[in-house]
Amino acid sequence: MAQVTLRKVVKKYDDTLAVRGIDLDIADKEFVVLVGPSGCGKSTTLRMIAGLEEISDGDIAIGGTVVNDVPPKDRDIAMVFQNYALYPHMTVYENMSFGLRLKKVAKDEIKRRVENAARILDITELLARKPKQLSGGQRQRVAMGRAIVRDPKVFLFDEPLSNLDAKLRVQMRTEIKKVHQKVRTTTVYVTHDQVEAMTLADRVVVMNHGLIEQVGAPNDLYHAPKTKFVAGFIGSPAMNFIPCRLEENSGALTARMGEVSLPLPASRTERYKAHVGRDMLFGLRPEHMTERRPYANGQAQDFAVTVDVVEPMGMETLLYFRINGEEVSARVEPTSAVAAGEVMPLAADLAHMHLIDPKTDKVV
């Protein structure tokens, strides 16, 4: 059993707060991804769990024991670094067995474990090589192998794929997920890439400015973001935020955005009533602004825009245009024949809309 618990954890560097008191419960066998822009404190948090950074305040517990003052080697963790951090003078076998040799594990046992890990990662034929004879992806596998052989309570990954090229990154992402499904070890994974976060995580922790913005399953974060930051961070291209004014017309609410005016679904009336007459932000993802087609939920609203830029992506086409002075993107079928400067009739699927209070940046 290896839950990881963070209680009001703070990291202070001189006068700057890198992590400002975060609480997090990571369940046994769970794969949790910390994601956020650079400088949000995600790596610092991971390094505090590893014991590479001291905790300024709060508690970190691994498997129920508070480890604040426990040195890294006694925390029973393994870490995979962004630049692999393989020992350049050792072979792959020696790299993977280094920790076990220090612990004076029996030779047969070391051999068994290294060979087992090598089999999981498909690097058996590389065991005799030196790191410089390996490609980036192979080095990353070895780094993971070094973590696996130790059979730790917790795996820590610090942006392990950032040094790989785009194609390999996607491949290794799947690899990491497969490995986790095989070894089922509690994993904390840090990345700045929201796609990695979404694809790998059981739960995603979105961090910003040293605080946790939201914790949730990937789909929850996507569909029900709690703050403007999460709404904008998760999803690519990012969610559109359009300044709007909430108006009431005989019981029905309308979001007025310049010349575009969208009647909001009746089901949202109760939720948004308190904000009538105020300037709000209307949030809608590009994939929920499409060409007009029959929507099953009946909550699509038609509008028309003059298209500024057309970006065909193959599987879809991105349109850019302005609503109420804000640049907005929409995803349409690649078959839609539309050119820049043309007027395009679109439909907004308001079942997926969000209303954000610009004063608090919270989704209401």
Partner 1 sequence: MAAAIAETKGGPSRPSTYGSISRSRKRALVWSYFFLVLFAIFFLMPPIYMFITSLKTSQEISAATNPWWVFNPTLSNYVELLTSNQYLTFFKNSAIISIVVVTITMLVSVPAAFALARMKFWGSATLATGVFLTYLIPETLLFIPLFKTFAFVYEYTGIQLINNWWVLLVIYPTLTVPFCTWIMIGYFASIPKELDEAAIIDGASYFQTLTKIFIPVALPGIIAAMIFAFTVSWAQFLYPLAFTTSTDQLVLPVGIITTLIKGDVFNWGQIMTGALLGAAPPLIIYAFLMDYYIAGLTAGATKG
Residues that bind partner 1 (CB under 8 A): 50-52, 71-73, 77-79, 81-89, 98-99, 102-103, 146, 150
- φ, ψ of residue 12 to 5 degrees: the values are -120, 130
CB of 188 to partner 1, least distance (A): 14
In terms of CB distance, is 99 or 263 closer to partner 1?
A: 99
CB of 252 to partner 1, least distance (A): 59
In terms of CB distance, is 77 or 123 closer to partner 1?
A: 77
CA distance 215 to 221: 8
In terms of CB distance, is 47 or 226 closer to partner 1?
A: 47
In terms of CB distance, is 160 or 210 closer to partner 1?
A: 160
In terms of CB distance, is 71 or 325 closer to partner 1?
A: 71
CB of 100 to partner 1, least distance (A): 9
Read off the tokens for 273.
């009533």
Task: Count Cβ neighbours within 10 Å for each residue of 293-304 and write b for 16 or more, e otherwise.
Answer: eebeeebbbebe
CB of 108 to partner 1, least distance (A): 20
Q: In 3D, which of 363, 359, 360 has the Cα closest to residue 224?
A: 363
In terms of CB distance, is 4 or 344 closer to partner 1?
A: 4
Other CB atoms within 10 A of residue 233 CB: 26
In terms of CB distance, is 94 or 220 closer to partner 1?
A: 94
Angle at CA of residue 143, ends 142 and 148, nearest 5°: 90
CB of 102 to partner 1, least distance (A): 4
Amino acid letter for position 179: V
Which residue, chain included where needed, has tokens 């590479």? Answer: 52
CA distance 20 to 36: 15
Strands 154-158 and 186-191: parallel
H/E run at residue 180: helix 166-183
CB of 168 to partner 1, least distance (A): 20
H/E run at residue 223: helix 218-223
- φ, ψ of residue 103 to 5 degrees: the values are -80, 0
CA distance 346 to 348: 7
CB of 66 to partner 1, least distance (A): 19
CB of 265 to partner 1, least distance (A): 51
Q: What is the 3-state secondary structure (H, E, C) of 267-323?
A: HHHHHHHHHCCCEEEEEECHHHEEECCCCCCCCEEEEEEEEEEEEECCCCEEEEEEE
In terms of CB distance, is 72 or 263 closer to partner 1?
A: 72
